[in-house]
Amino acid sequence: MRRAAMALLAKQISPPNLSIMQDEGFTVARVRTELLSGLTVALALVPEAVAFAFVAGVHPLVGLYAAFMVGLITAVFGGRPGMISGATGALAVVMVALVADHGVEYLFATVVLMGILQIIAGVMHWGKFIRLVPHPVMLGFVNGLAIVIFLAQLTQFKDPASGGAEWLQGGSMLLMLGLVALTMVIIWGMPKITNIIPAPLAGIGIVAILVIAMGLDVPRVGDMASIEGGLPAFHIPMVPLNWETFEIILPYAVILAAIGLIESLLTLNLVGEITGKRGGASQECIAQGASNVVTGFFGGMGGCAMIGQSMINVKSGGRTRIAGIAAALFLLAFIVVASPLIEQIPLAALVGVMFMVVIGTFAWNSLKIMTKVPPMDAFVIVLVTVVTVMTDLAIAVVVGVIVSALAYAWNNARRIHAYTRESATDKGAKVYEIEGPLFFGSTDGFIELFDVAGDPDRVIVDFARSRVVDQSALQAIEAIAGKYEAEGKKLVLRHLSRDCHQLLTKAGHLMVDSDDDPEYEIAVDYSVKTGILGGH
């Protein structure tokens, strides 16, 4: 039942209607699709990077440069072709306090240190621990992030003339909503007509032409800020190179590195589910770290994987590194030579694209399976979704993993029990056949299984269907041994697995009496000697 439920959960992670490209050869058609997909992503990156720069309290170019450099380096060296990285809101909300208290130069230094920590994580292969994130947590992450993306777009419905303090009114709001709806309809209907142009790009292009040709007065990219600039220049962060500076930036760097890696690795898994790819976690950690080190030295705010833009890329047909590289280069071209044109693009078109990303990202079927999966899994899905929206991704994932681990430990703690019988080969001896893992959560239940006073002089504990997992298990065995020792009775342990045998031997508390299965060490008798609890 539980395995079936987990399989069902796994299927919900992939957004619908995203077929896996079987042929990824670099044909003309493939390269065209990758380039157009990259152009679509680049257009969607502009307002996101500018908005996140505002959140962090830095100049818009600081966000745009980060989107370019992080996007380019991770596209070339990252662990998952097709994944898009750049400046993100999850990092920006952490940076704002640092910038406000110490200035942007300290931010650049922090980004460099953040990258170094991420490289260390990749070299140490710590990225593999992302496999410990359960499917319910992954599903809650997807749903929560979809809601966050949706909420982030609502700021575009505010009047730029009021500094974003007031909502658009009357006809302006209706026009904005109409253009958003038109963009979404185009994205929905374009694949039914042709696949030559990615649907999101067609939506942006058609709506932009309509707005410019008709001279419609709606918020545009240029209303947020000017994106015009030159090439990013090498810049060593202007901070004192002393211990005080290190104490200031280290806590921020650790938090940013953790958030960046968690979001990147979860996005890597999500894109892998869609494209049928696996692995690459350590490579992605190193690529993310290298990109942030470079970004810090070129005046960028750092970044990590972006699930929204990654979904745009995948949905537009991007499957190789070409799309990510193209997106970064297009973004640089926008900054250097095409800013007047890009600034004319209506925000409504980009909002429509992101709304379609929300619809495609949210696992709608998860609403139907809540009653079909174990209650705890359903609770974790909802919990992670809510925490993602209310706080941030890293906290949500940590909370979800902890709750899932505690639930797993509790379920296993209740599984410990024993079958008793008389020994067929050892006359007069009583056998306890233990079933279930013996670990910190099940030690109390394990001790309660034994009738020390009523048992015969020789007792055999058979672990053929159990495992001795940790030090708490050793202490439980010692406690039982001490009780039998006090009664003048002998306790024998049998059928320990190889690792359990090594664990008990290393502890030095139990002495080997016989070894009738030296090859596999699964039928070993242990006799408890005096002084066990004292460690003699």
SS3 85: strand
Q: For residues 505 and 514, give the distance between their C-alpha atoms in angstroms, rounded to a whole number.
A: 13
Write the pLDDT tens digit of every residue in 144-183. 888 888 888 888 888 877 776 788 888 889 999 999 999 9
What whole-number distance in Å separates Cα of residue 67 and Cα of residue 324? 11
Residue 220 phi, psi dihedral angles, 5° rounding: -125, 170
Closest CA to 82 of 319, 302, 381: 319
Which run of H or E residues covers position 332? helix 321-336
| Cβ neighbours, 10 Å, residue 194 | 9
More confident residue, 112 or 142: 112
pLDDT-derived band at 503, boundaries 50, 70, 90? low
Q: Please, are residues 354 and 45 in contact by the beta-carbon 8 Å criterion? A: no
* 199 close to 39: Cβ distance less than 8 angstroms: no
Coil, strand, or helix at residue 168? coil
Is the CB of residue 47 less than 8 Å from the CB of residue 251? no
The reported pLDDT for the residue numbered 502 is 66
Q: For CA atoms 262, 350, 323, 22, give the dihedral sign.
A: positive
Q: Where are the domains of the chain?
A: 2-14+26-157+169-405, 417-528
pLDDT at position 283 is 92
CA 15 – CA 51 distance, rounded (Å): 26
Mean pLDDT for the chain? 83
Please give the helix or strand (H or E) that residue 277 lies within, else none. none
Lowest mean pLDDT among 17-26, 281-290, 320-329, 404-413: 17-26
Q: Which of the given ranges, 5-9, 346-350, 509-513, has the highest pLDDT on average? A: 346-350
CA distance 482 to 479: 5
For residue 85, is pLDDT > 90?
yes
Structure-token pair, residue 193: 């007509």
Mean pLDDT across 66-84: 93
Q: State the pLDDT at residue 44.
A: 87
Burial status of residue 520 (CB atoms within 10 A of its CB: 0-12, 13-18, 19 or more)? exposed
For residue 514, give the H/E element and its range.
strand 510-515
For residue range 339-366, list pLDDT tens digits in order: 998 989 898 998 898 888 888 888 888 8
Q: Given strand 458-468, what is the order of strands in its sheet?
A: 417-422, 430-438, 458-468, 490-494, 524-528, 510-515
Predicted structure pTM score: 0.73
Q: What are the CB-based long-range contacts (under 8 Å, 24+) for 414-421?
A: 414/442, 414/445, 415/442, 416/442, 416/445, 416/446, 416/449, 416/466, 417/445, 417/449, 418/449
Q: Which letter does DSSP use for residue 155 in this model?
A: G
Residues 6+ apart with CB under 8 A from 475: 443
Is the model's pLDDT at 243 over the cut of 70? Answer: yes
Angle between helices 321-336 and 60-77 (to 10 degrees): 160
For residue 21, name the pLDDT band (cuts at 50, 70, 90).
Answer: very low
DSSP helix/strand/coil, 143: helix
Residue 71 has pLDDT above 90, yes or no: yes
From the options 3.20.20.10, 3.40.640.10, 3.40.50.150, 3.30.750.24, give the CATH code of 417-528.
3.30.750.24
Determine contact, residues 504/468, Cβ cutoff 8 Å.
yes
Q: What is the per-residue DSSP string for 381-418?
A: HHHHHHHHHHS-HHHHHHHHHHHHHHHHHHHHHTT-EE
Report phi then psi at 465, rounded to 5: -115, 30
